[in-house]
Structure 1
Amino acid sequence: MPTQTRAPQLASAGKALLLPMAIDCLVLGAGQEVGKSCAVVTINGKRIMFDCGMHMGYLDRRRYPDFSRVAPDGDFDGALDCVVITHFHLDHVGALPYFTEVCGYRGPIYMTYPTKALAPLMLEDYRKVMVERRGEEEQFTTENIADCMKKVIAVDLKQTVQVDSELQIRAYYAGHVIGAAMFYAKVGDSALVYTGDYNMTPDRHLGAAQIDRLQLDLLITESTYATTVRDSKYTREREFLMAVHKCVAGGGKVLIPTFALGRAQELCMLLDDYWERMNLNVPIYFSAGLTIQANMYYKMLINWTSQKVKETYVTRNPFDFKNVRSFDRSMIDSPGPCVLFATPGMISGGFSLEVFKNWAPSEINLVTLPG
């Protein structure tokens, strides 16, 4: 049942909720768990679904949010005023084609331009891995993904969008991955902000999250690592580089299972720069396919990156990596040291698992999990 609170309270876990009086919030995923982000908020009579993700740890009905709780009669258009997607990761957008093309939601969907460009790549890659390689039951087709994306309305940062005469939304830069946004929504005198993942520390290719000073009645924020104290970014990067360098110097191969969008580009930039400084000739590879497409989009979406990347772009595109090249499946057993980025990041199947099985028996090789 939707929750209606009469005093502010905080619920911690995958999402932290600060709920004021007279606002209903139905959490369908990422409440006290990581994955399947989906929250339906009713504010002054307007009902908004924030994110529509899947849970990567389940293959049964728990994979998707329980959409029957949104509209028991199946009339999703009548039950929702809009859907808002924060970024392209599957735990935030993975259930969207199922919701629109199978459940039948036909209302407006909002996301940023990069998210609209990159989400179909993530969804199609997931479909291929699950259906064509693992033989799982097909949840949605390639055509479903394309038809779903046709319904999406792309928005720019800080662009105020009038969904209807009463409801307006606005996107703010969230860092995390290219195109990720925090969304502000206002109905009458009531306002809220919903965040997916965000990053307050700039990295090599993205800036830190930025948002205006706002008067809010409700804040729903990602809080997965809220209580985690980690070493400095410099320390973590240095340990990573030292481990990789030690392995290849000893003739070993380094497998870096990673998601093709976001972390792969960040680590490619880190290693490419280190290889230049250390004058290393060991090849760095990334598995072909999705990552190649991703890098192409990253080059096109340079305005969504950090200020440093934009300044570098004047002389060269920082996503044209000097020391990184494509990897062919036939090269798995090739002799000599190398570094390989392979998807998926959780080694649950696909190419990264295939490479892991081939390289794991040798003690001189290394697998590093960047998350």
Structure 2
Amino acid sequence: MSNFLSIACWRSCDIRIMAIECLVLGAGQEVGKSCVVVNLNGKKIMFDCGMHMGYHDHRRYPDFSLISKSSDFDRELTCIIITHFHLDHIGALPYFTEVCGYSGPIYMTYPTKALAPLMLEDYRKVMVDRMGGKEQFTSDHIVACMEKVIPVDLKQTVQVDEDLEFRAYYAGHVIGAAMFYASVGDAKIVYTGDYNMTPDRHLGAAQIDRLQLDLLITESTYATTVRDSKYAREREFLKAVHKCISGGGKVLIPTFALGRAQELCILLEDYWERMNLKVPIYFSAGLTIQANMYSKMLISWTSQKVKEAFTTRNAFDFKHVLIVL
């Protein structure tokens, strides 16, 4: 199947005024390695630059040679826009900038810029220091890469050059995640990245203005999956945990340190408080300390419920959850 998608549009006056071409380098018919290059009226934007966690060979990264055979990426790309800090959306960025040589503008939200180095360095340590894998990028590469990043606020109109502008919109999913609207002349698109249309315990639902678009590129991993409601799943989860500890057992919950872990901690914290449980909850370290610290600092990116309660209590100051160093 071709990596290219071309769209040419005409208005009623039969004058061609815009053209869009998409080069899908990752996350097309697969989960992971998100990377889409959109040619918007001659301006090329790379949306996300992720890695595929299931591969340890050349398939780990997008095939950047499809952008430029001569590897002159600064000439080919107008900018890079990163939606959030998960490795399948940002994991290849240090490799692309410090090894492949891209030095143009890179945009992401302030929280993403703060949290991305933690994810990238943790991945490097696990793959290289612990598992002895081949080093694709170094700690210095991560630092140098992040120095190139220009952070943006939600709904801030960013003028990349005289033709290209974009805005970020709240996506939910994880702290700092954003959907991006971009326009060049009359050509207008939205790239969603990963988003969540229902609020959870620490993040709000995705929000975006009503926009007239020529193209929408959206995440659709679970688009055809019908799942039980979040509350039903939480109820079953808590019931299983309670049953285990009531019988003297221990519960081990593997989870991501950033995002999902904070959601689980709030869920368990509320349940422990409500049920007056005394069984200790231990949270192993790793990225935990930094993740919780940033969660406390980035309250403005959380759900309305967390923000409203912040005046009396920070939802990430856990009473029942103990961090193990």
1:196-215 alignment runs, 5 A limit: 196-215=193-212
Query: 2: distance between equivalents of 1:182 and 1:326?
Result: 33
Deviation at 1:289, TM superposition (A): 2.7
Query: 1: distance between equivalents of 2:281 and 2:52?
Result: 32
Runs of 4+ deviating beyond 6 Å = none
Normalised to the residue count of structure 2, the TM-score between the two structures is 0.95
2:197 maps to amino acid: M
Query: 2: distance between equivalents of 1:85 and 1:268?
Result: 27
Deviations 1:238-277 (A, max 9, x none): 0000001111111111111111111000010000000011
Q: Report the identity percentage.
A: 79
Query: 2: distance between equivalents of 1:257 and 1:175?
Result: 22
1:278 maps to amino acid: M
1:303 maps to amino acid: S
1:294 maps to amino acid: A
1:271 maps to amino acid: L
**Native 8 Å contact 2:19 2:187 kept in 1:** no
1:149 maps to amino acid: M
1:69-218 alignment runs, 5 A limit: 69-218=66-215
**Native 8 Å contact 2:181 2:189 kept in 1:** yes
Q: Give the SS at the match of 1:24.
A: strand
**Native 8 Å contact 1:4 1:21 kept in 2:** no
Deviation at 1:21, TM superposition (A): 7.5
Query: 2: distance between equivalents of 1:283 and 1:257?
Result: 17
**What is aligned with 2:293?**
296
1:3 equivalent to 2:17? Answer no
Query: 2: distance between equivalents of 1:264 and 1:112?
Result: 21
Deviations 1:40-62 (A, max 9, x none): 00011000000000000000000
Q: Give the SS at the match of 1:238.
A: helix
Alignment RMSD (CA, Å): 1.2
**Native 8 Å contact 2:167 2:180 kept in 1:** yes
Q: Give the SS at the match of 2:37.
A: strand
Deviation at 1:6, TM superposition (A): 5.2
**Native 8 Å contact 1:120 1:146 kept in 2:** yes
1:31 equivalent to 2:28? Answer yes
1:308 maps to amino acid: K
Q: Give the SS at the match of 1:204.
A: coil
Query: 2: distance between equivalents of 1:86 and 1:311?
Result: 26
Structure 1: 5+ residue stretches without partners: 8-19, 329-371
**What is aligned with 2:45?**
48
Normalised to the residue count of structure 1, the TM-score between the two structures is 0.84
Query: 1: distance between equivalents of 2:18 and 2:218?
Result: 18
**What is aligned with 2:232?**
235
Deviation at 1:135, TM superposition (A): 0.4
**Native 8 Å contact 2:20 2:187 kept in 1:** no
